[in-house]
Amino acid sequence: MRSLRQTHLRHAEHYKDVLANANALYDKGGEGITPGLALFDQEWDNIRMGWEWAKQWAIDPALEYFVAGPSLLSLRLPPQERIEWLERGLRVAHQRDDRRLEAEIWGQLGMANDALEKWKVSVSLYRECLKFARLLEDRGREGRTLGSLGLVYLMLGDKNEAKYSLEKALVIARDTGDRQAEGRQLGSLGLMSEGQERIGYFDQALEIARAVRDRYGEISHLGCLGMAWFDKGQTAKKLPGAARIHPNIMMRNMNRDGSLPKDLQDRLEEQDSSRCLQKAATYFEQAVAIAREISDYRAEGRHLGDLGNVLSEQGKIDQGIACYQQALAISLEMGDHQSEVRHLKHLRFAYLALGDKNEVHRIEKQLKEIAADSGEPRTENILEMFGSRDVDPFHEEYWRVSREEDNKKYWSEYYQIHLMS
């Protein structure tokens, strides 16, 4: 007769395999995403129970749960809970001296802290991941980590480091033939750009995502395009009459067929606030539709919130509130307190615009309760325990060597062109 321990571990082993199968389907992309997510969602309660029993009876099976399903666990678990799973895995990976697994977990911890907007912590986590990627000579991971690091630097306002990291990431993606990563890095570079150049980056990124069937990249780039046109719409609303294109200029530059040159047409479009906002709404609607199709609840909630902002800007406050409420329901279901607060704040502004003081007071009370009850895991502790003490010097050395390599390449090409021709 089996002992309770044997029964629990057998359950844990079986559902660890179920998680691995679901994750493998999901990671294939394309047609594998939906069945992978469906299997995971169907068995989630059993998977979670298996992990709890694995933690109770043995360390190794508990670690293997993270190894079996990193993509799906990252998608479904709220950031705080992901950090708890990941920190347990990091302890064992460190004890085993499993560098490849450590690199994976440091990167996943960085993404979890990104979701909590703890940007300075994320920098340290990605630096650790970058260190292991270079030690392992894993160019793909190095490029992806540089891309993540570049985005974090951008959030911290350090555009120089952001640009350098993202450009290096783009070079690696192209060198390794990773089209998906190339699209992601182009999208990230778009975030640093302005005007039509910005939209051009997002358009390139979206085209690549669709070509390689990167549905998550597609959602992201649609969202970025939506935000770019939303910003243009807000800017156009504030544009003084003197800054608008005069009808005489349009008449003088009109083509024989009655059309306008592209640069003038682009400028005219940017000055049409209602048209810009409608384009933004269309992009966000497409992002929400794809998120629903592949059951990416976080992306669905995020872009419902974005769509609510556009509708509110268009004066459609009631429709905006409906979007915010749907987004709020998703964040509550996911246990995502960061998003919950953001959607509540949007609802508060919407009800203020309607003059509904009762709803405003109710939401303000909710926000105060959340602020009083916010408890987040401190990833700084795991950095102190397992992070290398020489992270910053290593990081500086990494940039120094990289820049020296770039300079050598530049001057070599310069001499070939100007002195040897």
d(CA 310, CA 146): 32
At residue 134, the pLDDT reads: 95
C-alpha 269 chain-centroid distance? 29
Q: Are 29 and 214 within 8 A, CB to CB? A: yes
Structure tokens at 210: 């669709």
d(CA 332, CA 346): 15
At residue 268, the pLDDT reads: 54
Q: How many CB atoms lie within 10 A of CB 249?
A: 14
At residue 353, the pLDDT reads: 93
If we measure between CA atoms, which residue out of 273, 271, 246, 251 comes closest to residue 261? 251
d(CA 337, CA 373): 10
If we measure between CA atoms, which residue out of 141, 140, 106 comes closest to residue 125? 106
Within 13 Å and on the Cβ side, how many CA atoms surround 285? Answer: 9
Instruction: Give the DSSP letter of residue 258.
Output: S
Q: Are 69 and 40 within 8 A, CB to CB? A: yes
At residue 249, the pLDDT reads: 54
**Phi-psi label, residue 29: left if phi above 0, alpha if psi -120 to 50, beta otherwise:** left
pLDDT in tens, the chain (421 residues): 568 888 888 888 899 899 999 988 887 777 778 888 889 989 989 988 988 888 777 656 666 777 778 778 777 788 888 888 788 778 878 888 889 988 988 998 999 999 888 999 999 999 999 999 999 999 999 999 999 999 999 999 999 999 999 999 999 999 999 999 999 999 999 999 988 899 999 999 999 999 999 998 999 999 999 999 999 888 877 665 434 554 555 565 666 665 656 665 665 555 578 889 999 999 999 999 999 998 888 899 999 999 999 999 999 999 999 999 999 999 998 888 889 999 999 999 999 999 999 999 999 999 988 877 765 556 666 566 565 544 343 444 444 445 455 445 544 554 454 444 4
Q: Are 317 and 354 within 8 A, CB to CB? A: yes
This prediction's pTM: 0.75
Q: Are 139 and 172 within 8 A, CB to CB? A: yes
At residue 31, the pLDDT reads: 74
Sign of CA pseudo-dihedral 263, 269, 272, 276: negative
At residue 354, the pLDDT reads: 93
Q: Are 311 and 329 within 8 A, CB to CB? A: no
At residue 68, the pLDDT reads: 79
At residue 389, the pLDDT reads: 42
Those residues whose C-beta lies under 8 Å from the C-beta of residue 290, and which sit 6 or more positions away, are: 215, 218, 219, 222, 296
d(CA 129, CA 99): 10
At residue 374, the pLDDT reads: 61
- Alpha helices for 176-296 (secondary structure H): 179-192, 195-211, 215-238, 247-253, 262-270, 273-293
d(CA 6, CA 271): 69
